[in-house]
Structure 1
Amino acid sequence: MKLLPLRLQPGDDLRPALEQAVRQAGCDAAFVLSGIGSLGRASIRLAGAEQTLVLDGEYEILTLAGSIASNGSHLHMSLSDREGRVLGGHAGPGCIVRTTAEVLLALLPDWQLRREPDEATGYAELKITPS
């Protein structure tokens, strides 16, 4: 395992930026160990929801965790608004960094992560294989 600390800049799209950082590191497998920061726009799919919820405003990233595979990511985050209300779910493309996002990635160069259809769940689920 190799650790990769990142600071994303204002205007960066969180999910694609993390996927790009893993690709640029020449890796096919990573986990997000920790993430904090702020968003000016959040794109979250709530538990069991079909549609993505898009929120514009000032949000603090309280937690960020997940896996980054060679063909897609599975990220969860919790956010708070200016009244301290907390909301969480799947982080999608369109989570735009407001001031910063500080993220710690664990790169796994000896492994390959892929998302493949799973008959039991009906979703593309994580498949883990040695490199």
Structure 2
Amino acid sequence: MTTNEDLQRIGFLPFDTVRSAFNHQYEVSKMNAITAWQGVERTQNWQFISNIKPQTALNLGRAIISLAIFCMLAAIAIAYFYDAYFSISEQTCAHLTVLISAAFFKLGYVVRLAAHHALGNYNAG
């Protein structure tokens, strides 16, 4: 019959040692996950961008939305209503501008919602 000392001498660890090492690793990874989640909460409180105030971000979001709507309307007019006056390459650019301006519209909307959230207005939509 072998003892724990014999098993340790040839490289095997007793079950209690393995279990305690696993529990230690589990506790360390659980603490890392908690620390990471606390970091996420800190970044949601506008502490990661110290030089942009929520009101400035709100104005920036509104400006991005306004510019995106203007570009989208101009591109739709060029691509669909006044297509006889523009070359095929200009129409292609207008079609691509519709897609890109839609993406900027969404970006501005997210910035605006984040600013409303930072200002405490949770009902903004």
TM-score (norm 1): 0.18
Which structure has more helix as a fraction of its residues?
2
Which structure has more strand as a fraction of its residues?
1
Greater Rg, structure 1 or structure 2? 2
TM-score (norm 2): 0.19
